[in-house]
Structures are given as C-alpha cells and as structure tokens.
Amino acid sequence: MKLETIIGLEFHVQLKTKTKMFCACSNEIEAKDPNVNICPICLGHPGILPTINEEAVHMGMKAALALNCTIANFTKFDRKNYFYPDLPKGYQISQYDKPLALDGSLVINWETRDGLAGSLTDENQLKRIGIVRLHLEEDAAKSTHINDGTLIDYNRGGAPLIEIVTHPHLSSPQEAKTFGQEIQLIMRHLNISDADMEKGQLRCDGNISLRPVGDKKLYPKTELKNINSFRALERALAYEIERQTLLWHAGTPPTKEETRGWDEATQTTISQRVKEGESDYRYFPEPDLPPIIITEDEIQALKIEIPELPQDKRRRFVDMYDFTGEEAKILADSKQLANFTEKVISELKSWLEDLDTISGNKEEIWETNKHKLIKLVSNWLINKYLPALSEQNISFKSSKITAENFAEFICLVYESKVNSSAAQAILKRMIETGGDPSHLIEDMDLVQMSGSDELGIIIEKTLAQFPDQVAEYKSGKTVVIKYFLGLIMRETNGKADPQETEKLLQEYLAQ
C-alpha cells in the first residue's frame, strides 16, 4: 500500500510587547528572579478585571497582514477552561469562534531553502501553504520538572501570544521545517518577536497523519509536542511517518487522535494522552473584556508599517543585483546582513560613478560593471567574511567592519591592487581591528607590484639561477612553470600578481 503524508502545523509566537496581554506587568519573561513580574490579574485573584493590550493587537494584525490573512472587523476573546498548575485562573483567555484573522497563506520555496540552487519564481519549486487562522491569547506559566516535584515561574503567565494554525497542506518533514523557518524570519522582520525556539519565544506543534494515495479522507491525526528546534520538528515528523507506516502495513492504522512528545535523547515520540476535543475546553465568551472593532482605516494604516519581507527581498536581490537564488537567500534572510550588503553596493556604485576612467551615464556605468562587482561582493562576503567570523565565534552584529570599509576593500580587489592571498590577510586584520583597508595595505606592505619592468628583473634573476629547470620547460615539461611561479611569489612576499607573473614567465621562457 502506497501512503502519503499529511502535515499541519501550529505555532505559538511570543510577542515582545512592554507589558503582558491583559495587565500592566512587565513582559520581561527572562527576568533574573522567578515570580517577580506578577500581579493579581495574571495570578487570577478573585475580583480582578483584565484590560486588552493594544500593542499586542497591533502586532497580531501585522503578522496577519504579512501572512496574507483577512483581518476581522469584529473579534472577541473567550475563556478556554482547563485545570493545570501553570494556569492559576483555571482558564486561559484565548479566541475561539471570532479570531483576529482568517484565511491566510504563505508561499515557500522549499527546494532551495536548505541551500540547493534554484529559481525563486519557478512554479515547480514553490508551494502555497494555507493558513486557517491567527488569534491572540495569553501564555501559561513556565513549569520546570525536577525529581521530587515541579517548579512554576509565573513571570511568563499572561504574556501575549499569537497562535498560527495552518491547513494540512504540507507533505514532508522538509517542507514543514522550511515553513517554520519562514514563519520565524517573518516574525523577526516584523520586529514583533525574537522568535527564538530555544527560549520558547516560538513554539511549534506538528499534526501528522497518513492515508492511502488517492484517498481524500483525513484520518485521525497525531499531535507532536516538546519540539524546541526545527531540526527536532523534522526528525519527529520523520519518526512518526515511519511509526505510522508500520501501523498501516500491519492493518492497525491510528483510530484516535493522540498527543505524543518528542524525546530528544531517544529520537522517538512517546505517547502522552488521547487528544482532547474542543468540547473538553468548554469555551465561552470572556465576560470581562469587550469585543474589538477594527476599521478598514486601521488596517490600511498598519499595512504601511509592514517592512519588506524576506521573500520579497530575496527576489529583489536577484532581480536588482543579479545575485543567485542561493546567494540572495543567505544575504536577505538576515536584516542586518541585508542592510550591510545594500550599503556596500551603494558605496560601490558611487565609487564607480566617480571614476574618470569609465565613461557613460550612471545607469550605463553600473550595468556594465555590475556583474563583476556583485561576484566579488558575494564571494568575499559569503565565502570569506562570514566563515571567518564564524571561525572566530564573532556574530555579524558585533563585527567591527563597516559597510564603507568593506566596499573599499572590494574596490582594492576589483582594481587588482592586492592579490587574493594579500586580500585575505587584509580582511583578517580588518576583522581584528576594524581598520581602513587602504591604510592596512600600506602598514602591512601588501601593495601589489605593478608594471612589468620590476617584475621582469626578478624573473630574469630567478631563471638565471635555475638553468636546468629552464631546459626542462623548453623540452616540453611545461608544468615547471608552476615551480618558477612559486619562487617568484616567495621572492616578492606574495605581492606579485600570479596571473600577470605567469604570463610574463611564459614570455621570458619563450625567448
């Protein structure tokens, strides 16, 4: 029997508002001490009256707009009733039948998201994932389980969350991982959440079931919890596919919805409970909070505040700068790196326009020279600079190199004022000191030798010292030229241009 995988995802995104969802307590969840950012409202004392955090509502609306959702003109809060120690009121204030937003979608370019080259517009590599709803709610407290009990920190209790629920449109663990990474990037670009999974700022539950290929029926799903990374999400889903496939082939497919937890140590899922239905929560409208009326003017005003999102930025980097899809993904997914890249390119454009040796209008000058400059930027930024920072455990944010200095460094390479080995030495010193490359090239005595006269003298001297090797070359053993090239590079302390040197060597050896 051939089976296909059906996956839906649920995300809880912690909003970085100043205060909690329904009270004035600080939303500093990672406070130094536990249970300090609390009050009678978030602890559920009798007689308290919550108030709605308007900033959280606006952040939720921004997320909805970024995910192409339709924002409701009328929305309200509801009580979701259940008992657990991390929920002191005995109910959670959430949204049920009138959520903040409905019917969204997000297109993922899943084949290229993990580093494979590909087009950002090829329909064969794009997949639209539907979003059922986006709603607001408050977070529960944080439980820490120890050997002889459980410790509860109510600093997190009442923190504002948005929950994003997708349609079961995903069909592989890789797609699910890609979709989750895209959600994380969008939340960060909107600046509504840091979305750090390790800190619980972004939590993801996976819903998975299998069915025979061609069957349109949805079978009982398994909800996967305790997932703290996208890698864990991918592995948990892959494990479930294997587990449920065995059940189907044994003639005992799942008949009830179940909640299972991911065990990182054993790389398996463990049954936790038979999943509760909506009726178990006894939802009813929150009597202490008024409904929210959202006007079209408010929605339009928030649309203006939505920044350029990662997918749009990637496409623009490809269209405007001729980066490859893979390069655009690396550079555009980080706001800081994307801004740095564009500042570098802006500096390079200005530099080109001011050169007396190039004729034409500004557009012609840029279009003629763009390809070579962009290749240098992508090579030195992606293949040299970022790996060097990683090796030294330096974050890009804390790097000392400014966009202006990096652009100047690219200019030196572009004009062949330094060769590749010298450029790498300069870049290393720039990372250490943040220094100006034009000064460093002088201080480090790495100005590339220019002119054939000076280089010719060194070549003649070198060839005269090794007549046997010269004879070998002339007899047809042309590989010897690499030996001479190494000698000359050593003699010039790496300041000779290797290509120019090899060309001159060929001329002298042909005499």
Look up residue 217 and give its DSSP letter: P
Measure the CA–CA gap between 3 and 8, rounded to whole angstroms: 17
Enter the tokens of residue 460: 């003649």
Per residue in 444-470, pLDDT (tens digit) is: 888 777 666 778 888 888 888 988 888
Largest CA distance in the chain: 101
Q: How far apart are CA 358 and CA 370, in angstroms?
A: 13
Q: What is the DSSP secondary-structure string of 437-489?
A: HHHHHHHTT-PPP-SHHHHHHHHHHHHHH-HHHHHHHHTT-TTHHHHHHHHHH
Contact partners, residue 188, CB within 8 Å, separation at least 6: 194, 195, 335
State whether the Cα torsion 156-275-278-164 is positive or negative. positive
The confidence score (pLDDT) of residue 503 equals 84
pLDDT tens digits, one per residue of 161-203: 999 999 999 999 999 999 999 999 999 999 999 999 999 999 9
Q: Which pLDDT score is estimated for 346?
A: 96
| The two three-digit tokens of residue 277, written as one number | 């239905």
CB 206 within 8 A of CB 174: no
pLDDT of residue 275: 67
Judge whether 440 and 429 are in contact, CB under 8 Å. Answer: yes
Domain 452-509, second-level architecture? Orthogonal Bundle (1.10)
pLDDT at position 418 is 87
Domain segments of the chain as ranges:
3-303, 334-443, 452-509
* pLDDT score, position 114: 43
pTM as predicted? 0.85
pLDDT per residue over 60-90, tens digit each? 999 999 999 999 999 999 999 998 899 999 9
Give the rounded percent of residues in the chain with a pLDDT score beyond 90: 73
Give the chain's count of helices (H) and strands (E). Answer: 17, 16
pLDDT at 437: 94
Query: What is the band of 500 on the pLDDT scale with cuts at 50, 70, 90?
Result: confident
Q: Please state, in angstroms and as integers, the Cα–Cα distance from residue 217 to each residue in 4, 223, 430, following that order.
A: 12, 18, 60
pLDDT for 94 equals: 98
